[in-house]
Amino acid sequence: MKSTEIRNRFLQFFARHGHEVVASSPLVPANDQSLLFTNAGMVQFKDVFLGRDRRPYTRAASAQRCLRAGGKHNDLENVGYTARHHTFFEMLGNFSFGDYFKRDAIRYAWEFLTGEMGLPADRLWVTVFEGDDEAARIWLDEIGVDAARFSRIGEADNFWSMGDTGPCGPCSEIFYDHGPGIAGGPPGSPEADGDRYVEIWNLVFMQFDRDREGRLNPLPKPSVDTGMGLERMAAVMQKVTSNYDIDLFQGLIRAVGEVLDLSDLRDKSLNVIADHIRAAAFLVTDGVVPGNEGRGYVLRRIVRRALRHGHRLGATDPFFYRLVAPLIREMGEAYPELARDQAHVEAVLKQEEERFAETLSQGLRLLEQDIAGLKAGGVIPGATVFRLYDTYGFPADLTADIARERGLSIDMVGFEREMTAQRNRARAAQSFRGDEVVVAGETEFCGYEEVSVPVRVRALAAGGRT
Ligand code: ATP
Ligand code: MG
Ligand code: MG
Ligand code: MG
């Protein structure tokens, strides 16, 4: 079953059950400065969940384009390393705004998977939030899920929130077992973070609005927000064990092979490039331009990572922008805005590519010299990471990506020390002129909350564009 058919069947299924089919919103959320990118289907409905916005319907379904490459949900580092994570992906979702709650949400999901999609129940695993007896009872007693494939999970995985504040609640997740032979253990086990048991659908029982102090305030009406990864579902339906082997990605990967003139299409760099062209093209379509801060810097980081992988595969001429046309072939029907903007997207990406071309190879040469003496497990000094960043335009995560391929890591603390020193120099120069200006680059780390970021940067990021 092709990806397109799954998308359509999902929307039709929920339309039959009284849901309004709503178009995907852009990757840049409208009127929401607290969020860097649309990272789930519920984002465009946030105010409806909060009771601040009313719609003429109480049930909706969508195929939402999502980006997880910065902010609270960041899967950039997973791309190229897992079979199931993308930066850009499509989330199929059904929503209830104070209409149905746990029972119907669970029934619809089960009916869609085992009925509409015809999946065998014994390949599906279910989890609920540890304290959610109500959901557990529905799954075990009403649906009849086998207790051997059912588990209760803690807050880290089974309590969903969009960001640090906003709508949230306990959730119930459905996993598909791709079978022995793939590394990974069942949900909740120590080996769960593998590609064998893949989370395909998350049902969030939206009950709270988390405020800035972290308090959970009950929402006016309990609601439902679900999200299913289209690419993961396509892998299941197409009986492949990697998202990169589905129809949509195979089309793109063949196109990468053509523009780079490759005969072997198995290198993981092709997967990374195929992932990144989707993210980059949709970001430009949705109004983001490469830049040095906020969303623009995330786009720049994605493009530069893709170009580095292209270089690794032997690219000598601009190639990335040439993937826009094949992408439109794969996705233009579902997303006509992409096709409408083709010339603009190509021009923006080509310009960014030309801009980085020269410093990319120079920077890589410098890096090779600096790491020549390092053995596996070694650390690339902060000063090198900084020089690559400052002189050659290598975002730190780009250098980290190269390091990881070689079994090395980067000295992030040392890099930050250099950044702070540079900022202090810049600030001294600014105060000399008496201006109060935000130094360029200070918000560049908004995708990095996980690593230690200087407090000032984090404060700026929190109040700024993340
Ligand atoms: P995972 O634990 O696999 O990282 P998640 O719990 O972070 O997934 P959710 O926030 O629950 O994901 O999103 C709902 C669904 O969207 C997931 O069940 C999955 O099918 C899909 N999904 C999430 N992240 C990605 C991604 N990076 N690439 C592709 N699909 C994704
Ligand atoms: Mg995740
Ligand atoms: Mg998960
Ligand atoms: Mg989840």
Question: Three-state secondary structure along the chain?
Answer: CCHHHHHHHHHHHHHHCCCEECCCCCCCCCCCCCCCCCCCHHHHHHHHHCCCCCCCCCEEEEEEEEECECCCCECHHHECCECCCCCEEEEEEEEECCCCCHHHHHHHHHHHHHHHCCCCHHHEEEEEECCCHHHHHHHHHHHCCCHHHEEEECHHHHEEECCCCEEEEEEEEEEEECCCCCCCCCCCCCCCCCCCEEEEEEEEEEEEEECCCCCEEEEEEEEEEEEEEHHHHHHHHCCCCCHHHCHHHHHHHHHHHHHCCCCCCCCHHHHHHHHHHHHHHHHHHCCCCCCCCHHHHHHHHHHHHHHHHHHHCCCCCCCHHHHHHHHHHHHCCCCHHHHHCHHHHHHHHHHHHHHHHHHHHHHHHHHHHHHCCCCCCCEECHHHHHHHHHHHCCCHHHHHHHHHHCCCEECHHHHHHHHHHHHHHHHHHHHHHCCCCCCCCCCCCCCCCCCCCCHHHHHHHHHCCC
DSSP β-ladder status, 216-229 and 379-380: unpaired
Torsion sign, CA atoms 269, 273, 274, 279: positive
Of 118, 109, 121, nearest to 61 by C-alpha is 109
The backbone torsions φ and ψ at residue 89, rounded to the nearest 5 degrees and listed phi first, read -155, 170
pLDDT in tens, the chain (466 residues): 999 999 999 999 999 999 999 999 999 999 777 789 999 999 999 999 888 999 999 999 999 999 999 887 899 999 999 999 999 999 999 999 999 999 999 999 999 999 999 999 999 999 999 989 999 999 999 999 999 999 999 998 899 886 788 889 999 999 999 999 999 999 999 999 999 999 999 999 999 999 999 999 998 889 999 999 999 999 999 999 999 999 999 999 999 999 999 999 999 999 999 999 999 999 999 999 999 999 999 999 999 999 999 999 999 999 999 999 999 999 999 999 999 999 999 999 999 999 999 899 999 999 999 999 999 999 999 999 999 999 999 999 999 999 999 999 999 999 999 999 999 998 888 776 654 444 333 333 333 333 222 322 332 233 332 2
Which atom of ligand 1 has the smallest separation from the CA of 40?
Answer: 13
Asked whether 80 lines ligand 1 (CB < 6 A), one says no
pTM of the entire predicted model: 0.90
CA angle 205, 211, 216 (to 5 degrees): 45
Q: By alpha-carbon position, which residue is closest to atom 6 of ligand 1?
A: 157
Which atom of ligand 1 has the smallest separation from the CA of 174?
Answer: 18
- How far apart CA 121 and CA 153 sit, in angstroms, is 20
- Amino acid (1-letter code) at residue 304: R
Q: By alpha-carbon position, which residue is closest to atom 22 of ligand 1?
A: 229
**pLDDT reported for residue 278:** 98
Mutate to test the pocket of ligand 1, among 232, 237, 278 (most ligand atoms within 8 A of CB): 232
Q: Contact 39/59 with Cβ under 8 angstroms? A: no
ipTM of the prediction greater than 0.90, yes or no: yes
Ligand 1 centre from 240 Cα, in Å? 18
Mutate to test the pocket of ligand 1, among 168, 202, 276 (most ligand atoms within 8 A of CB): 202
Of 382, 373, 357, 384, nearest to 406 by C-alpha is 373
Asked whether 227 lines ligand 1 (CB < 6 A), one says yes
**pLDDT reported for residue 71:** 80
Ligand 2 centre from 450 Cα, in Å? 14
**pLDDT reported for residue 432:** 67
Of the bound ligands, which one is closest to the alpha carbon of residue 232?
Answer: 1
